[in-house]
Amino acid sequence: MDKVFELIKRETKRQNETLQMIPSENYASADVRKAMGSIFENKYAEGYPGKRYYQGNIVVDELERLCQERVKKLFGVPHVNVQPLSGAPANLAIIKGLQESEKNIQLSQILSMGGHLSMGQSVSVTNIVMPAVHYGLTADGEINWRELEELAIKHKPKIIWAGGTAYTRIFQWKKYAEIADKVGAYFVADISHIGGLVAGGAHPSPVPYAHIVMTTTHKTLRGPRGAIIMVTKRGLQKNSDLDKLIDSAVFPGVQGGPHMETIAGVAVCLAEANTQKFKKYSAQIVKNAKILANELRIMNYELIGDGTENHMVWIDLTNKGVDGWAAAWALEYAGIIANRQTVPNERKSPYYPSGLRLGTPAITTRGMKEPQMRQIAKWIDEVISYTASEINNIDLSQEQRKTFKQVMIKDKKLLLIAQEVKDLCKKFPINV
Ligand code: DSN
């Protein structure tokens, strides 16, 4: 057997026996994976349905149109591009499509306060294509509307972005739209994290307010790794060529041939998301996250946004005596897969940040509910409190970090929790 298949077996075991609590991860269904592994993989299809640069695309055209129709129906948009390979290239294409002059700038949430690299952060190519200025969050974890509006008035950006990688409140789409209208900007909502919540009705939709909406398809939407760019009615009212601008920015602007096997998987996940079952699922994601947040708050965890209104819990660990790095590793050794995250006004670095991000989409897919959330919160606290009692240092040296990993991977207490986690996981198989 090729080594790869042995690795697939090991990864299957790992995913089965641990709790996936990275907010941007989920389990795609067996049907999605079947479509992803299909012979659509073999086909080159540069161009769009009815206008390809290769022969043999009769079936592919039908597939891409089917996928487009499903997006339009699910999100209520007049135009969609289903070809972006993932979120970052999708955002790059949006920026490229909207750029009219080298003087254009974009306005987005700052990376250290939950923004995303692909919205013009200084280390991203999206900043070279269109320089950016950034707004942050207030002390209570809300978008800093005053700062956003002041920056918008001062810089007259071409794009105002909503969304990113960490935010725990309901997005106030109307407020973004009002500011964007005031300065003539395009309002682009990146709903990658909450795409499934919007589809399932567990978060308000930005479609009535934004000109463009982008979502990745593998997070709460539970599809393959990909992305879609939607142009809304409002977008076409602002610029009747917006659909064409986006399409030509995706291809040939940023990408070559689309991954038709991914588009097949996206089409399957969209049908799955357009069901009552998915509505219930997305509501449960939020319910679970609220319970998890509440339990942690009771145990004196500092939560950005003082809780959550979506699928994510964002913790500042400074008062706990560990940083996000140590907490994330200790949790992994105990079978809980989280990810470390910067916090507003971060004083450390993105690699060794002060915070942690947890999410409920994947464990909700497994069927876990309120009682399991309470148990998981208890384990998380046990791991973090124990780790703090072992090190009580939020600024470990490189040498101390090396020793920490060598010691903690064999730690009896963490191994015991890992066994308890495994027992729970057995009762909630990844049944998709
Ligand atoms: N990596 C994604 C996340 O975890 O939020 C964003 O690209």
State mean pLDDT over 98-121.
96
* Ligand 1 pocket by Cβ (under 6 Å): 24, 87, 116, 165
303 is written with which tokens? Answer: 């939560």
Contacts of 237 (CB under 8 A, 6+ apart): none
Mean pLDDT within 264-268: 98
- In ligand 1, the atom with minimum distance to the C-alpha of 357 is 4
Burial of 7 (0-12, 13-18, 19+ CB in 10 A): exposed
Tell me the pLDDT band of 22, cut-offs 50, 70 and 90. very high
Q: Is the pLDDT of residue 431 over 80?
A: no
Report CA(258)–ligand 1 centroid distance (Å). Answer: 22
Structure confidence at residue 279 (pLDDT):
98
Compute φ and ψ for 366, nearest 5 degrees. -75, -10
- The 3-state DSSP composition of the chain as helix, strand, coil percent (nearest 5) reads 50, 15, 35
What are the backbone angles phi and psi of residue 237, rounded to the nearest 5°? Answer: -70, -35
Looking at residue 366, its pLDDT comes to 98
Helices and strands: H and E segment counts in the chain:
17, 15
Atom of ligand 1 nearest to the CA of 166: 5
Report the separation in Å between the CA atom of 165 and the middle of ligand 1, taken as the mean of its atom positions: 5
What CA–CA distance (Å, rounded) separates 323 from 354? Answer: 5
Amino acid (one-letter) located at 392: N
| Pairing status of strand 79-81 against strand 302-303 | unpaired
Residues forming the active site: 44, 46, 190, 216, 219, 225
Written as six digits, the tokens of 44 are 């080159």
The number of C-alpha atoms within 13 Å of 17 and in the hemisphere containing its C-beta is 16
At 140, is the pLDDT very low, low, confident or very high (cuts 50, 70, 90)? confident
How far is the C-alpha of 80 from the C-alpha of 229, rounded, in Å?
Answer: 6
**For the whole model, what pTM was predicted?**
0.97
| Tokens 């071409």 found at | 158
Q: What is the pLDDT of residue 392?
A: 83
pLDDT-above-90 percentage for the chain: 97
Residue nearest to atom 5 of ligand 1 (CA): 165
Residue 85, pLDDT score = 98
* CA 225 to centroid of ligand 1, rounded, Å: 11
Residue 133 class from Cβ within 10 Å (0-12 exposed, 13-18 middle, 19+ buried)? Answer: middle
Tell me which of 192, 310, 341 to substitute to probe ligand 1's pocket, judged by most ligand atoms within 8 Å of the beta carbon: 192
> The tokens of 104 are what?
């254009």
